C-alpha cells in the first residue's frame, strides 16, 4: 500500500495541477522575516506573496486551512496571512496553537496537534513544512509517517516545501518541492 501511495502521489504532484484539490491544507507559520516572491508548483505559478499558505490555498483550493503556530508566530504574522487569504477569496485560516517545543511535554503536544490535523480531514491533505521552526519539520515528517503506518485508512497525504532559497536567478520564481515520497519511505 505504501509503495502505491507514493507512486500515485508522485504522479499527481508532477502533473499540471489544474484539477487537483486537497480538502485540508496544514501549514506552519513562524516568526521569520518573510519576503514576497512568486512560487511555482509543477507548472503553475501563484500570486506574489510572502505567505506560502496563501500560495498553496490558491493552487490547491482547500476547503480548510489549518495553521500550526506558536502564540508569537500568530501575533507576528497571523493578521498578514488572514488578509492574504481573504484577498484571494480563500478559506479563513484556523489557527492551531502549538508550543515552542522546548521541554519533552511540549514536543509531545506538537506531535499530537499535528496528528489531529492530519487525521481529521475528509479528503486529501497537503502538509506544508516551509515555515516550520527547528524541530517542527522533523516532527511533522515523523507524525506523517506514524499516521501512515498506524492508521487503518491513512489520509491521502502530500508533503511540500517551498524553497525560497532555490529561486531561479533569471525569473525570480521559487519552486515548491514535493517531499511526499520521502515520508512514504
* pTM score: 0.84
Q: For residues 136, 91, 87 and 21, what is the CA-based torsion angle, rounded to 10 degrees?
A: 80
Check residue 21 and give its pLDDT: 73
Alpha helices in the chain (DSSP H): 2-14, 52-60, 71-87, 104-119, 136-150, 180-184
Tens digit of pLDDT at every position of the chain (185 positions) = 333 333 333 333 334 344 557 899 999 998 999 999 999 998 889 999 999 999 999 999 999 999 999 999 999 999 999 999 999 999 999 999 988 877 888 888 888 888 899 887 888 889 998 887 666 676 677 777 777 777 787 778 888 889 999 999 999 999 999 887 776 66
Check residue 164 and give its pLDDT: 92
C-alpha cell at 83: 488578509
Of 129, 151, 148, 149, nearest in space to 140 by CA: 129
From CA 115, how far away is CA 117, in angstroms rounded?
5
Check residue 183 and give its pLDDT: 66
Beta bridge partners of 177: 161
Beta bridge partners of 178: 160
From CA 136, how far away is CA 26, in angstroms rounded?
13
Check residue 152 and give its pLDDT: 82
Check residue 148 and give its pLDDT: 74
Check residue 9 and give its pLDDT: 37
Check residue 131 and give its pLDDT: 80
Check residue 134 and give its pLDDT: 64
From CA 74, how far away is CA 63, in angstroms rounded?
21
Amino acid at each position: 500500500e505504501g509503495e502505491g501511495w507514493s507512486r500515485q502521489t508522485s504522479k499527481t504532484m508532477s502533473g499540471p495541477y489544474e484539477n487537483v484539490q486537497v480538502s485540508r491544507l496544514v501549514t506552519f507559520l513562524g516568526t521569520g522575516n518573510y519576503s514576497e516572491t512568486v512560487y511555482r508548483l509543477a507548472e503553475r505559478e501563484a500570486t506574489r506573496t510572502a505567505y506560502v499558505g496563501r500560495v498553496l490555498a490558491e493552487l490547491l483550493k482547500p476547503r480548510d486551512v489549518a495553521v500550526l503556530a506558536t502564540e508569537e508566530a500568530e501575533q507576528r504574522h497571523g493578521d498578514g496571512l488572514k488578509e492574504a487569504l481573504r484577498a484571494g477569496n480563500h478559506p479563513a485560516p484556523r489557527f492551531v496553537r502549538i508550543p515552542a517545543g522546548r521541554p519533552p511535554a511540549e514536543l509531545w503536544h506538537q506531535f499530537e496537534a499535528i496528528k489531529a490535523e492530519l487525521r481529521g480531514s475528509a479528503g486529501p491533505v497537503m502538509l506544508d513544512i516551509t515555515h516550520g521552526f527547528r524541530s517542527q519539520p522533523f516532527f511533522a515528517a515523523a507524525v506523517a509517517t506514524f499516521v501512515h503506518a498506524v492508521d487503518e485508512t491513512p489520509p491521502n497525504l502530500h508533503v511540500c516545501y517551498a524553497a525560497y532559497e532555490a529561486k531561479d536567478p533569471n525569473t525570480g520564481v521559487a519552486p515548491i518541492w514535493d517531499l511526499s515520497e520521502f515520508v512514504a519511505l
